[in-house]
Chain A
Amino acid sequence: MPGGPPAAPARALTGPEGRWSTGSLVNTALKRTPLYEAHVKAGARMVPFGGWEMPVQYAGIVEEHRAVRAAVGCFDVSHMGEFEVEGPHALAALQRLTTNDVAALDIGQVQYSLLCYPDGGIVDDLTLYRLAADRYMLTVNASNIDKDWSWVREHGAAARWRNVSDDTGLIAAQGPKAEALVGRLADCDVTSIAYYHFAEGRVAGVRALISRTGYTGEDGFELYVSAADTPRLWSALLDAGRGDGVVPVGLGARDTLRLEMRYALYGNDIDATTNPLEAGLGWIVKPAKGDFVGRDAIEKVRAAGPRRKLIGLEMADRSVARHGYPVTTPVASPGREGAPTVIGIITSGSYGPSVERSIAMAYVASAHAAVGTELGVEIRGQVKPGRVVKTPFHPSRVKK
């Protein structure tokens, strides 16, 4: 490499899973979803992720990514956690626990929301489903299930909680042809389900909660079914979608798809040390609804203005700005003297297969967060040029 060996040791060529593995769970037996056998049989490359053994890719990340943008892809997201909460105290418990306004949620509607710590840091991001007048479901990140389960029972003790994660399978069908595919297998009219709404019905004969949500920026559905029914639904979708060009999609493409939309990933872009406002999630924080855990701290940030902001960044060349790399002022050039200084940190970065550029998300000091601002990213000891761009990086095509 030019200028000698890299500043930080890079992985050997065939080093294991890199950021797909989570160090904290190294000595714990990995969990498997109901589709584990199907993934192995299909030749998926399995990796540890958040305590689960998950497919990172089948045919290849770029190919799977493009299939979702052009046709339809199916994702096994059964590792996600689901909690049900019900009873006369459910609404009050959720209002206290989450940042969004649960009272605004109709039966059959879904809401993106957050659990926060008293200091405004983020416990988790989640989707909240109103199943009935006083019954709700929360979908939480796989690696946070245990932490969240303790948290909701501690801070929502008055309500009746049930952790149904192990009994629930979850398959996402995403892409411009997802509606046709799911519609062909469903016993109800899925075209009438609006974005962030759901219906209960049967898909391929399997009882399912059919949710018009996703993590790709494409139209599509997330199908909640019983763990036992999950393999049957998975094969039905892949069989019925053959003519549509359906492919199974691993976590690798799930990550590049969500990155192009600038969707936050817990553990990368948001965590206990980040607040919702600097993460650009102020739109799901509703202080007017009344008190909730973290409100005072978040409102203090709002009053002062966040010190740093999560921005979208585009690199000038194709080198990848990865999680943890320092973000700096621009490289010195005529008229801009002095060594670059560190002003932020990359939280997620990859080659974006649809935008065909190296893109990233980063926290930078608010003074450097405006679209068009030139920045540098320190990659292996060398500062490479990039700039703040508008997000999403790729236009969203969700059904609004």
Chain B
Amino acid sequence: MPNVPAELKYTREHEWAKREGDRVRIGITAFAQEQLGDVVFVELPKVGAKVTAHQAFGVVESVKAVSDLFAPVSGEVVEVNSELPQKPETVNKDPYGKGWMILVKPSNAGELDQLLTAKQYEEFVAQGGGH
């Protein structure tokens, strides 16, 4: 079982969300990067863009597949990981750290509580991860 940090929240589309004060940091899980394989391109929104929970906010491409990134919460993008366009492999190397994708100022703090806990996400993945 790939690493699932206990302090994070998760989506069924394999994104993680981390509360940082009044902001939420977002990335993809270790399971997701493992399934994708080598990440070669990440397309992210610009600072100031609005993202909506459960809707695509970007794209991650591996050698063999292209996948949407789904927002765990709604809100405004306040920071984007500017290292990823040059070093997309960071997503594979450090999915919960340097491979983060966007920092969002949520418009509805309650959405974070509706996400999966680490334990729930682990069970979800163990049952086949939604496929």
Given that A11-B66, A322-B66 are known contacts, is A1 also in contact with B14, CB under 8 Å in the complex? no
Q: Which of A2, A57, A322, A380 has the most CB of B within 10 A?
A: A2
A285 at interface (Cβ–Cβ under 8 A)? Answer: no
Residues of chain B with a CB closer than 8 A to A350's CB: 40, 63-64
Given that A18-B64, A60-B38 are known contacts, is A1 also in contact with B43, CB under 8 Å in the complex? yes
Closest to B51 in A: A1
Enumerate A1-53 residues with CB–CB distance to B below 8 Å: 1-2, 5-6, 9-20
B81 at interface (Cβ–Cβ under 8 A)? Answer: no
- In the complex, the answer to whether A12 meets B68 with C-beta atoms within 8 Å is yes
Partner of A318, one of B41, B69, B130: B41
- In the complex, the answer to whether A1 meets B64 with C-beta atoms within 8 Å is no
- In the complex, the answer to whether A62 meets B63 with C-beta atoms within 8 Å is yes
Residues of chain B with a CB closer than 8 A to A383's CB: none
- In the complex, the answer to whether A14 meets B130 with C-beta atoms within 8 Å is yes
Enumerate A349-373 residues with CB–CB distance to B below 8 Å: 350-351, 353, 358
Partner of A1, one of B35, B40, B45: B45
- In the complex, the answer to whether B65 meets A15 with C-beta atoms within 8 Å is yes
Closest to A65 in B: B63
Residues of chain A with a CB closer than 8 A to B28's CB: 13
Cα-based distance from A61 to B13 in the complex (angstroms): 23
Closest to A357 in B: B40
Given that A318-B41, A319-B43 are known contacts, is A6 also in contact with B64, CB under 8 Å in the complex? no
Q: How many residues of A contact B (CB 8 A)?
A: 33
Residues of chain A with a CB closer than 8 A to B36's CB: 13-14
Enumerate B15-48 residues with CB–CB distance to A below 8 Å: 28, 31-32, 35-38, 40-41, 43, 45-46
Cα-based distance from A6 to B59 in the complex (angstroms): 9
Closest to A16 in B: B131
- In the complex, the answer to whether B68 meets A10 with C-beta atoms within 8 Å is yes
B99 at interface (Cβ–Cβ under 8 A)? Answer: no
Chain A min CB distance to B102 (Å): 11
- In the complex, the answer to whether B32 meets A5 with C-beta atoms within 8 Å is no
- In the complex, the answer to whether B131 meets A14 with C-beta atoms within 8 Å is yes
- In the complex, the answer to whether A18 meets B65 with C-beta atoms within 8 Å is yes
Residues of chain A with a CB closer than 8 A to B60's CB: 13
Given that A12-B130, A16-B131, A318-B85 are known contacts, is A61 also in contact with B38, CB under 8 Å in the complex? yes
Closest to A350 in B: B63
- In the complex, the answer to whether A10 meets B66 with C-beta atoms within 8 Å is yes
Enumerate A299-327 residues with CB–CB distance to B below 8 Å: 317-320, 322
Q: Which of B45, B60, B67, B89 has the most CB of A within 10 A?
A: B67
Residues of chain A with a CB closer than 8 A to B56's CB: 1, 5-6, 10
Given that A1-B58, A1-B59, A320-B61 are known contacts, is A15 also in contact with B67, CB under 8 Å in the complex? yes
Cα-based distance from A350 to B39 in the complex (angstroms): 11
Enumerate B45-98 residues with CB–CB distance to A below 8 Å: 45-46, 49, 55-61, 63-69, 85, 88-89
Chain A min CB distance to B103 (Å): 16
A328 at interface (Cβ–Cβ under 8 A)? Answer: no
Cα-based distance from A353 to B13 in the complex (angstroms): 27
A267 at interface (Cβ–Cβ under 8 A)? Answer: no
Residues of chain A with a CB closer than 8 A to B59's CB: 1, 6, 10, 380
Closest to A56 in B: B64
Cα-based distance from A11 to B131 in the complex (angstroms): 12
Cα-based distance from A18 to B65 in the complex (angstroms): 6
A201 at interface (Cβ–Cβ under 8 A)? Answer: no
- In the complex, the answer to whether B40 meets A318 with C-beta atoms within 8 Å is yes
Partner of B13, one of A9, A12, A19, A322: A12
Using A2-B43, A11-B67, A252-B37 as known contacts, list a sample of 10 further A-B pairs with CB atoms less than 8 Å apart, ordered by residue number in A: A1-B58, A13-B13, A14-B31, A14-B35, A15-B65, A17-B64, A20-B64, A61-B38, A62-B63, A318-B61
Closest 6 CB pairs of A and B: A351-B40, A14-B35, A318-B41, A62-B38, A10-B68, A13-B67
Interface residues of B (CB under 8 A from A): 13-14, 28, 31-32, 35-38, 40-41, 43, 45-46, 49, 55-61, 63-69, 85, 88-89, 129-131
